[in-house]
Amino acid sequence: MPALFDPPPSGSARERLDAYAAFLAARDGSPDFDRRTLSLREERTVAFESAAPCFDGPFDRALFERQHRRYDTALETPPEMQLLLCFVKINANEAYGVEQVLARPVRDDRPTDRIERLLLLEEGYHTRLLLSAASLFGVAVREPSAPVATTRALVAGISRLPEAAARPVTLAAEAIGILTFLRTLEACRRVLRDRAELRDAMEARLVEVLVDEIGHLSFNRLAARAGTFAALRAIVPAVAMATRGALPEAERLGILPVPVGQAWRFDASTLPEEVRRQAFIA
């Protein structure tokens, strides 16, 4: 992947979009848009959701439930619990956005419309994957957290923008989202360095999400117009700064806020090898 702010090579977009569609078919299987399922992803995700508990330390369920409802920075919370709270909350904005988009009438008049619908189905699996981390601690979280009012307003605003205006915002949000997951992966390796089984199980969920998100970023780059990349330079800092204060438990672990400088430097070389090996990168 070239640097985030460089457009793809001229004339390659149509061919690369066709290649991405083939990649999605091989990775996800057959879609069922009514049931919101992808055949191959369903099999893999059910396996994650069926995982047995493997955290062998003390776990205060009452504290977890309280911090899940509303995080209180005054309460002493073990880093392992903070990490789990990040997993089950960090995709709340995307989950809300997907529901808003899926509630709109289906468009199918552009070559990219079917791919965009497939990506929405993938986002649904991201929510399930991240929530399934709770089972590793012997607890259950069935629904994503509700996003804050500012997020609801932002999603509603973006959904009404014309594509030319919405695409750079979407690209910026995808990039900051990827960096957030990468920083979560780093925190996972740090917090769980002495718990190999649990660390590997949680990393596997993050890698699944990251492989998809790199594809989503690549798709939005290929579908973008030339002016999109110039607009990114003004939008990315705003999206990065908006991560400050968004998730206190993530700030406690050093995941958020995402530094703007890290976004400027983002390219494929910053990705873990297992993500680069599996992802569609354009």
Tokens 């493997």 correspond to 54
Q: What is the pLDDT along the chain (282 residues), one digit of tens a residue?
A: 456 778 887 777 889 999 999 999 999 999 999 999 999 999 999 999 999 999 999 999 999 999 999 999 999 999 999 999 999 999 877 776 676 666 666 666 677 889 999 999 999 999 999 999 999 999 999 888 876 665 666 666 666 777 777 888 889 989 999 999 999 999 999 999 999 999 999 999 999 999 999 999 999 999 998 789 888 888 999 989 988 988 999 999 999 999 988 988 888 888 999 999 999 998
| Contact between residue 123 and residue 134 where contact means Cβ atoms under 8 Å apart | no
Tokens 């808003």 correspond to 100
Residue 183 confidence (pLDDT): 97
- As a whole number of angstroms, the distance between CA 27 and CA 101 comes to 23
Residue 150 confidence (pLDDT): 57
| Contact between residue 210 and residue 182 where contact means Cβ atoms under 8 Å apart | yes
With 0-12 CB in 10 A as exposed, 13-18 as middle and 19+ as buried, what is 228?
Answer: buried
- As a whole number of angstroms, the distance between CA 51 and CA 260 comes to 36
Rounded to two decimals, what is the model's pTM? 0.92
- As a whole number of angstroms, the distance between CA 177 and CA 97 comes to 13
Using DSSP, how many helices (H) and how many strands (E) does the chain show?
13, 2
Q: Of 258, 252, 255, 254, which Cα lies nearest the Cα of 72?
A: 252
Packing angle between helix 39-49 and helix 13-28, nearest 10 degrees?
50
- As a whole number of angstroms, the distance between CA 259 and CA 241 comes to 8
Strand partners, 38: 31
For 28-97, the three-class secondary structure string (H helix, E strand, C coil) is HCCEECCCCEEHHHHHHHHHHHCCCCCCCCCCCHHHHHHHHHCCCCCCCCCHHHHHHHHHHHCCHHHHHH
Parse the chain into domains and list their residue ranges. 13-278
Q: Of 12, 44, 79, 63, which Cα lies nearest the Cα of 212?
A: 44
Q: Is the peptide bond before 162 cis (omega within 30 degrees of 0)?
A: no
